[in-house]
Structure 1
Amino acid sequence: MRDIITEDQEKEIIEAIEQAEANTSGEIRVHIENKCQIDPLDRAVEVFAALHMHQTKLRNGVLFYVALKSHKFAVIGDAGINAVVPPNFWDDIKTNVLAAFKNGDYGKGLSKGILMAGEHLRTFFPFDAQTDTNELKNDISFGKDEDH
């Protein structure tokens, strides 16, 4: 995966997570792996559970899932988010991320999508400096090389 996602891109993505979370109590994670043999939404749900993202206080976790070599992408939110956002909430984020991916720019695509998610989530889950804590790691999780 390091031949596709560079250290600089990883830093860019993590900085985007930190910046986005400054606007919202939402928690954003990114998971990258090489292959996905099932529907990317189904795999994203599996990863979401494996990362314990459903354990946030407000159930407002967001996962950006990417299978690089399979060219699959999904973005999903937890129950707290899905209960309050409109059905097409993720569509413009997906469109922007995929446009950058088509140009081979995974770092910029993910960073832009993450920042957009932070802006959108601010409406429903504004950041409160008095009560908000960082409930999930801001790093990128990487899958193993086996198929999923």
Structure 2
Amino acid sequence: MEIFNQEEQEKVVQAISLAENRTSGEIRLVVERKLHGIEAYEQATAYFEKLKMHQTLLRNGVLIYLATDDHQFAIIGDSGINDKVPADFWESTKESMLAYFRQSDYVHGLIAGIEQAGEQLAHYFPRRDDDVNELPNDIYFG
């Protein structure tokens, strides 16, 4: 059974594209059913490395990780964005997402997180004329 149907995937990818149209930052989403025997943050960190998110020019990549069956998720920002956002930003973003996740509405929870990350990225890293999309916008299914 799929985690998201085609329409749901398109909504999430569209949210990523819209967010990235306003910023030089990069947003990636990793979704899988179960953790691999470690905490969500550690799993997200492993994917951050695997997907080469630390190799963006301005170090402004954001990874959202979700393990649906284990009801765990994490958000990781690279050093470029982490140095700029308020200290409680990722926690408040997670709270916004959790409101949807508690109702098993993963799609709108992910979209809320993508939109909030996108707003911060657009504020601190506005899109430039020479901006290139450094990473794919699709959902990475682990």
TM-score, shorter chain, exceeding 0.5 = yes
1:10 is aligned to: 9
8 Å contact kept, 1:29–1:62: yes
Runs of 4+ in 1 over 2 A off after TM superposition: none
Q: Distance in 1 between matches of 2:22 and 2:119?
A: 7
Give CA-to-partner distance per residue, 1:59-98, whole Å, 9 cap, x none: 1000010001111000110111112222112122111111
1:146 is aligned to: none
8 Å contact kept, 2:85–2:120: no
1:87 is aligned to: 87
Q: What code does the residue aligned with 2:126 have?
A: P
* Cα root mean square deviation, aligned: 1.1
Give CA-to-partner distance per residue, 1:112-139, whole Å, 9 cap, x none: 21011111221111111x1211000000
Instruction: Count the aligned residue pairs.
Output: 141
1:105 is aligned to: 105
| TM, length-normalised to structure 2 | 0.94
5+ residue gaps in structure 2? none
Q: Distance in 2 between matches of 1:134 and 1:29?
A: 12
2:73 is aligned to: 73
- Asked if residue 136 in structure 1 is aligned to residue 135 in structure 2, the reply is yes
5+ residue gaps in structure 1? 144-148
8 Å contact kept, 1:31–1:141: yes
Q: Distance in 1 between matches of 2:140 and 2:91?
A: 23
Q: Distance in 1 between matches of 2:75 and 2:82?
A: 12
1:53 is aligned to: 53
**Percent identity, aligned pairs only?**
48
1:121 is aligned to: 121
Q: What code does the residue aligned with 1:102 have?
A: R
